[in-house]
Structure 1
Amino acid sequence: MPQHNQSHISLETVAPKLANVIRPAAGLAAKDVKFYKALDPQVSSSADASSGLILELAQRLVDLSTADKESVTLSADAEILDLTRLVGDVLDDLVEKTDIALDDFEKGKVYDAADEAKDNETESEDGFTYLDPGNAQANKLTRRRDKPQEQFGFEIDNSEETPFRPLLPTKPHAIHPLNTALVDPEYVFSEVSQSEILVTPQHYEQPYAFEIMNQEYPEAILRKSVPIDAKPWAETTAIWVDTPELLRQMVDTLKNEAAIAVDLEHHDFRTYRGLTCLIQISNRDQDWLIDPLALWRELHILNEVTADPKIVKVFHGAFMDTHWLQRDFGVYVVSMFDTYHACVALGFPQRGLSYLLERFAKFRTSKVYQRADWRLRPLTDIMKEYARSDTHFLLYVYDNLRNMLLENGKMSEVLAASRKVAAQRFEYPDFKPLELSAGNGFSYDTAAQYRERPWGGQMGRLGVPRAKEEVFKSLYQWRKSVAQQNDESVAFVMSSALLAELALKAPTTLTELRSVNQKIPDLVLSREQEVVDLINDALARSDLEDMEKLGSVEFEEPVETHTENTTGNFVELKDAGEIESVFLKLAQKLEYAKTDAIMGARPRILGAEKATFAVEYPQRGKVVTHTVEDLDGRKEFLAKELDNEVVVVPEQTTAEETGSVEPQIPAEEPSAAPSSVSSSDPLEAKTAAEKDEIITLRKKREQPFRERKEADTEAVDYSKFDKIILDSEGKRERSRKKDKTKPKPIFDPYSASSEGPQGAKKKDRFIGGKSSTYKAKR
């Protein structure tokens, strides 16, 4: 207890000193240090000395935190943001380690790394084995700061200018030779219908597609047998494979197996395409953890096992695993059994691997490390335990699922679905075949349009209107280019939320860019002027395109008609008839594509009658979309209003007759058709109006409002003003006297309509207490 009090005293002593350091440091950040250094040599030397001391202290902190890892050297020439982030990570790590140590000390625990695996395995009374996260030291999620792909010894090519070429140098267990799949890619033309030809982009064939779809599974998979229990969890450990020699030994062992279990761990945030960071393989007796970061160019020899049709490869949810194996190592899988599709065929309430482990193996894992940074080296013991738990029990699960599928007659269904997963072909987005997109519910036309306009779907999901498409497209393409150059994910370069905000706000200055709500990553800050210039150029192009679209609309020349009294309230019928054609032409010009990506996340082909364009209302701060159907509805409404308010204006009507003074209009040449109409015959007037084609949007008043009011109101003689006031006061006095002469009603105590005189109500007595505030008045 005295030590506990002493720690509090030390904290109270240190805290004010830290505050005295933080305050001037924060104030100094707002000053122009370089200016003061250039102004005064003494200030410059003092600042350099302080910088050196701070850098030395920071280096000591980093060395203390990374004693068991690869050393990191701080440099005064490094970017301040990088140094700040690095030191912040180190401080966070030290604080967490201190908190963990104090917590263990108070509980009387002593951390022992050798017993960590045993501490993480607990068996409860309910018969379940648990992967306990253990103490907080083992549960620490650490991020790797460097990029392991930079140590591969070759340059990462993210250009994607040509189709993906399979990486495997040889093809074990082949029926068709490898050279048939590595021929120069060509476009493939196939007829979808009599009027539609599907063009598949050039690509290399999947090397094992024929073997996957045609080779038979082993006969053992079609026979029921007693499930073989997995080895006890606490009695087994995984072998770490990170050298070619260990890899060869593992492959030679697996060649003799009838079935193996496989799983992968992946990372996709600090790399453009993604990175397979760990491969887990298990047989009935042993678990292996393969380090791909150390064997990146050696793992193609796994095809000696994975492509062997006599060995069943058990995966769970292998849809992405097959892509990653092809993309990174050129590894393909023949005779796959996907337990996910078995869950679907058997109608299980859940389809996750954790559910299968609990149901069949009585093992409960922890999903704490599902989103861990698997690039970390060395992996902690608990991370290794979590990784091997994905495959350690999977063969026993497979035995149970196989028997259930054979009993229900659904094995062929699962094997067919597993073949399709294994036969997938990894391809870059620009070279993916259209039938893959069409198979997901899109038509071929939609898939083709979204290949030409890949940002369209994301615009719809983020709610960015088509009016902002030019800015969104420019930022989208810039983000992708920067990610490819730096081998980073597009999410690391710029989040989707920031992309949408920049497209909507379109900041044109550095100040506006820095004031956005979303956090701006370092890569964007380092190129902020480039981003601002990009937005300005996109806005200029957008304005120019809008002017070109509007300028290309062809308006028909109006037909001149003779009238002597045309005002702003009149519209010629022929001009009004042009409204429909103008609306349609504008809609056609403003129709960027036949795809309406604004209406929902899943795009679809729309007809021309549903072409969409957007109108932005800056004062309201929103964008409203309009379709041709909306314009048709407004046109019909306008036509009805015109029909209801059409007024024929005869030629004889003059300004004197209407009581209004109109400006004189120079007389035009007389028309060939007679324009005089007699207002006494309505039918004749209507016929003449059709000839002259003169209509009005609203009726003109016969005389100005002010003049009509003066004419209808009786003139006031102000010489009798006093008399008028006296008369009004006399009227009020006579009214009061009349009220006094009215007899008052007589009170009848027996009348049903009267309750008699009411006595004074008794005032409620205040009742105190806790409930007085809530007591209702009576």
Structure 2
Amino acid sequence: MASSSSSSLSPASFNDYNTQLQGCALKATRAAVSLPADIPFHRSVHPDFAKEVDQTSARVLSLTNKLLHLSSTVNASASSRGKGKARLEAQDDVVDNFHSLIVDAMDTLLERADIGLDEFLGNFKAPAIAVKPAPLTTTQKKKSNVPQGRLDPALQHASHLAKPQISFKRKVDNSNHIAWVPTLRHKYNAQVPLGYNFTEGDGEEASTSLHPYHYEIKHLTYPARMFASSPPIPPKSFEETPFTWVSTSEEFATMLDKLRDAKEIAVDLEYHNYRSFGGFVCLMQISTREEDFVVDTLALREELEELNEVFTNPNIVKVFHGAESDIVWLQQDFNLYVVNLFDTYHASKVLDFPRHGLATLLEMYCDFTADKRYQLADWRIRPLPEEMLQYARSDTHFLLFIYDNLRNALLDRAQSRAQSRAQSPSSSSTPPPDLSIPPAHLLVREVLSRSEETALRIYEKERYDAESGSGPGGWDTLARKWNKSILMASSSVPDAGSAASAQRAVYLAVHAWRDRIAREEDESSRYVLPNHYLFSLAERTPADMAALLSVFHPVPPVIRRRAKELLDTIRDAVKEALGAPTASSNAPDAQVEEAPAAMEVDVTESVEEVVGAASTQTSQSLWATVSSITATKSALFGPTLHSNTTSVLPIAQQSALLGTGSSTAQDLARSLALNRARFLEAATRIHSKLVIAPSVPSILARPNPNAASAAAAASVEDDPTVLKNEGQAEIPFIPASQRTAVPIVDDTIVVVGQPKKKKRKRVAEKDKADTVADTPSPKQEAEAEAEAKAEAFDYASVSNILDDGSDHEVDARSARKKPKHAKGSNAAFYGNFPAPPKAHSQPKSGNQSRTFR
């Protein structure tokens, strides 16, 4: 009956249909309850009853499955079971899955009905800020599985690419003393001419600004549509949106014609500053409501100034996200300026979002996850890989839709605040609102005011301040960032000649050298010398080229080419810190080898003592006493060595370590006081590297019967100038034919290393009893007689290793062969120890496993 009336179902007859439906359901329920409990028994007794029950059960299951299918179709948020898999096949399915399949589906339907009724009656209001709304279009693809991990090194640092700035028509100028000035050829959308200094309302003339559009930005009239709430315009998918790669003048002119007709455009830039000192823009992304453009700024660097016609048009809204750097880069490379800027970063700050990145806004409003690994990619690569191109498009493709949502949220929140302020009395601490601005426009005006300050930014070249070290590239800024307190400008200046002063001097010198080289070669400072290497050189100052190159792993390309220049800079800094003359004041041919600044001795100690001791000396300097300290005889060549005069061995008049020779005591004292620290440092370094090895003893006399040799030995013994070794004298080699027999001395031979034989228990107890009784056993007496009869070993009868054709050669060859020993005996291998070492890794007999059949 319910099915027959469903064909004529209408709003007027719905109540009757609902009453009949509930009556049928109630009758079915009563019939099911009135069934007997022993249905299987009745099924077995009455076949007709069993057939009727089966038909009714099949009909009920079919109706239930149809309802489940309809509920899964209506409910878009149903679980995966409700999408074609929710079926009841038998009684067991009803018992097991009734709650999960039927109860959950009904709860979802009823909950959706409640939400729909609340929205229809006005009890529920949709949020002004949509968080992860439904997909924008049915064809929009969601990128949920973003690959993780680090970016491919070939895409992050394309080292094989040639520098594109070499081919720029306007050559790069990285000089430190020349300021940058704008070279704008034509001022589009001008309200005042170039170079005009406007005056404010109070009559005071404003300071001269290098910003050509300063007046236009300050006196901007925004379009009325920016303050009207309107439904957001969802963007099309990537496949449906037209895309153009702009790399020629014709394509740029076509893009410019389309941009002139747009009301809002989204702009973003991709920048590169690793292989350039000042950096340059590699890519520009521009999106309208209908099309996406990606401009190759490396190919169209000189033509992009024409974009000022669009960028300075006050009727076209330019939407950026985080434009603090973009505004400066546009001025630096293309002389481009922006009028009527809306920065979505400032909008997220005004709305008090927890996060303000573009990736957060994309996930919030567009349900799109961008692969942010490509932020660090090398955008000089041409042609651009597909993944990098899609990432570049995503930065501006959704930005206009985000702008619509943020503008509506700002207007809605400002209106809500105005209503709450009108209902509650105003507080004395709350500043009165500006009456000239409608209350609903206050937050949008706040965002536009902050965006104006961003658009008024001016590009300035990075200057290097060697005195204070301030600025983004200053040495004091870097030391504060790395928390190097001893190197900061605010720290106390260390004492001259100390290790801290040398460390600070090396840091300042290397930092200044890095900045100069980076400007000369148009490379970034971190490419020339990374920061951690800079501090390593300051803390562990290298003394030579090998020590310098050992600091780097690997050696940077610029350091590999200019290592000598860096080493000279470090040496000059150390000399200046220790009070020594620099390399420029020394002779050109002087070879200077400086020790590291990180000394292990206190170089400032006893300097006054050195000065006092030097002042009491005679006027004769160190260099005047060279002949008196020169040895006239040699233990190697004898007393016939010529005197070391300047005619034979010329002596330098100056020393890189001890300084210049002087003839007066005052000059000598000053020289010694100046170089005392360097001398102690070098001596400490030399002594730490020395290895004490035994020296060869000198020969005092030889046991040769020759009288002449004996006389010569006696003369050497009596000569006081010859060094004598008080240790053991060297034993000379005597041929076998001249050797005399050594008298045999009867001595007790001690036998060591013999294996100890195990004793039986009875024998051990008997020996122990004999020892206690102090009576030797027969075995001990036999061993004593064997030791007494042992013959002494004649060492003279053995051939010497220095003799020709000795037996040692045969022994050496035979020793290479592995000695054979009896099976089960380890005496030869282990060296006659009482027992071989225990093999703890070998399995014991009890751990062996066997298989039985």
TM-score, length of structure 2 as denominator length = 0.44
Q: Which entry has the higher C-alpha Rg, 1 or 2?
A: 2
